[in-house]
Amino acid sequence: MHTTGKFNSSGMLAIILVSVVMVTGSCRMSYSFTGASISPEVKTISIGYFQNKALLVVPTLSRNLTEALQDYFTSQTNLILVDRNGDLDLEGSITGYSVQPQAISGNEVAQLNRLTITVQVKFTNKFDEKQNFESNFSRYLDYPSSQNLVSVQDDLIAEINDQLVQDIFNKSVVNW
C-alpha cells in the first residue's frame, strides 16, 4: 500500500492517545486500594507518640495506638515513616478512657457496660494546608456487665484501636 504523507485514522488515534497519556500523567494523584489519595510529592509521614492523658490510664494503650497508626499508614500507603518533620505529620493524645453502664434493666442493674476511648489528633500536610485539621475521635464497644473488664479489656482495646486508626486514616488521606 502506498502512503502519500497523510495520516491514516489509526496513526491519528495513536497520536491522540499518546498526548492524553502525557497530559494526564503530568498532574496526577496517587491512589491506593484503600481509597487514599496522596499527592506524589508527599513521601514521608511522622507519627508522634500518643500520650495518655485520660483520667483512667491503661499502661499499654499509648504504645498500642501509636504502633497501630504507624503500621496502618505504612502498610496502606507508600509513605516512609520518619521520626520527625514528615511531609504528613500526625500527633495527638488519648484524652478519654471510660466505662459507663448501658441498658439498665427493670431492677436498675446494667446489662451492658460501654468502654469508650477518645483521642485528640492534629494532622499537618506540608504540601496542602487545606487538609490540616485538629479533631477528636471517639469509639466505643459494649460488653456484658457479667464480664469483668479486666478479662475483656485487651480485646476491646484492640478492636476500638482498629476503628480509631481507620477513622484517623480516612480523615487524613482519604479525600472523599
Per-residue pLDDT of 38-61, as tens digits, reads 888 999 999 999 999 999 999 999
Q: Read off the pLDDT of each residue in 76-102 and give the average, rounded to a whole number.
A: 95
Q: Is residue 27 part of a domain?
A: no
Query: Of 24-38, 58-72, 144-158, which gets the smallest average pLDDT?
Result: 24-38
Give the integer Cα–Cα distance in Å for 68 and 49.
11
Q: Is residue 3 part of a domain?
A: no
> Phi and psi at residue 134, in whole multiples of 5°?
-130, 120
| Mean pLDDT across the chain | 83
pTM recorded for the entire structure? 0.77
What range defines the domain where residue 78 resides? 41-173
Tell me the residue type at 44.
Answer: T
pLDDT value, residue 103: 73
Tell me the residue type at 67.
Answer: E
pLDDT value, residue 10: 53
CATH number assigned to the domain comprising residue 167: 3.30.160.150
Q: Is residue 4 part of a domain?
A: no
Q: Is residue 12 part of a domain?
A: no
> Phi and psi at residue 60, in whole multiples of 5°?
-90, -5
Cell numbers standing for residue 99 = 466505662
pLDDT value, residue 9: 53
Q: Is residue 68 part of a domain?
A: yes
pLDDT tens, residue by residue, 115-159: 999 999 999 999 999 999 999 999 999 999 889 999 999 999 999
Structural domain tally of the chain? Answer: 1
110-125 vs 80-82, strand pairing mode: unpaired
Cell numbers standing for residue 113 = 457496660
Q: Is residue 84 part of a domain?
A: yes
Q: Is residue 20 part of a domain?
A: no
Strands (E), the chain: 30-31, 37-38, 44-47, 51-52, 80-82, 88-104, 110-125, 133-144
Q: What are the residue ranges of helices labelled H in 52-137?
A: 61-76
pLDDT value, residue 8: 56
Q: Is residue 157 part of a domain?
A: yes
